Structure 1
Amino acid sequence: MTDIANKWPAKHPELLQLYSLPTPNGVKVSIMLEEIGLPYEAHLVSFETNDQMSPEFLSLNPNNKIPAIVDPDGPGGQPLPLFESGAILLYLAEKSGKFLPQDAAARYQVIQWVMFQMGGVGPMFGQLGFFHRFAGKDYEDKRPRDRYVNESKRLLGVIDKQLSQHQWLAGDEYSIADIATFPWIRNLVGFYEAGDLVGFKDFPHVARALEAFVARPAVARGLNIPARG
């Protein structure tokens, strides 16, 4: 991946290279890397300077989204470029043998909750953030905002019910389903300041698991990687 290295030269090219920003999607991968203890080098992709639209970044991810990685020691010992946070979590779980069960049934329970986050939680919470915190808040018509408020409440209800029966999202073992989901929940009630809007107090099991998630040392580290300039 010579193009990406032109803009973000690797000091340690033998290590996994992470290209990211500490957003809910970005920190999924930094948290996972911290959890599994795999050495890596992090590179900040700044939205302020449109790094994600640069030819170098597009050579790695044509969809111009963070995060993305290059693992110089991929399958068969060959370099592996990879984008999409869910795909990267699955890859790192398989590479490390951690946070994704070996048992087939349990494995697919985890994968279904990762897909639940990718298809529902991320897109819906993100739209709510736009209409509540960013430019969309100035729209006089509140029907778009309320649509995402209602869907976010529904999703939180699904998660709360699951967590009322299990310690973590896919069961009683911490997994990539939690690493995928809880950064978005944290962002919803924190950065987006939408806790009151979605009635977060009505989801006590979500609050309990979120507290346990952010208390993990690897999570605390990963939430700030890559460091903003």
Structure 2
Amino acid sequence: MNSQIFGQKLPPSIVRFLPVFWILLLGWLVFFHRLGNTGLLDETEPLFVEAARQMTTTGDWVTPYFNGVTRFDKPPLIYWLMAIGFQTIGVNEWAARLPSALSATLLTGFCFYILNVYTTQPRPEADTTPSACEAHQRQPVIPYLGAAICALNLQSFFFGRLGYSDMLLSVLLWRVVVCVLSGIHRRSLSRSNSLLSGVLCSDGSGSVDKGAGGRGVAKCDRAALFALCWHAARRTTRN
């Protein structure tokens, strides 16, 4: 991370901690503050919450139920996370919405990471002349602004504070994007296995979270793998 913010040189300890502090601050103010002060919204959120609550009462973590009737509308990942929150914190609105708030905060962190990589860190094979490095050093504020815009987006604010499965799917999609863009930017063959593992894990988690909606993760995976293969082929032909 760049050591200058608004033209002021910062100590290394602050430089390392400032991005984490900024993301946690945004997460607390936008997603966690007064998270459980409102009741469950419309008819959808109670379906998720009650199915997760019945998992904790019946001990059946495989088959979700709503009022004694099986509910297979959604895969069980979001129910599992809510049920873990119930067993850890207690059965309340705050615990039910905790997975969405955590996912939204993680999504904000992914946004910061990508903007930081592409605006403040030159590529390994890029021009490293003083003028080129100075051009990168003039943009340290962009990741902070981008993370704030991502967190304050109305859809992020809405789904990050409700017990739905949408924000969890969004952060899994973004994990695929982060893995791909990191691989393209760094072009490191030593990290290819870990990046591919991240893509495939996100694919599987998206299917367990959203079912048919998780196919969007699979489509993104195919596009991601195509992009990585294309850049690998270009690198091979150049060598």
The TM-score with structure 1 as length reference comes to: 0.31
Structure with bigger gyration radius:
2
- Whose helix proportion is higher, 1 or 2? 2
User: With CA pairs under 8 Å and 6+ residues apart, which has the higher RCO, 1 or 2?
Assistant: 1
- Whose strand proportion is higher, 1 or 2? 1
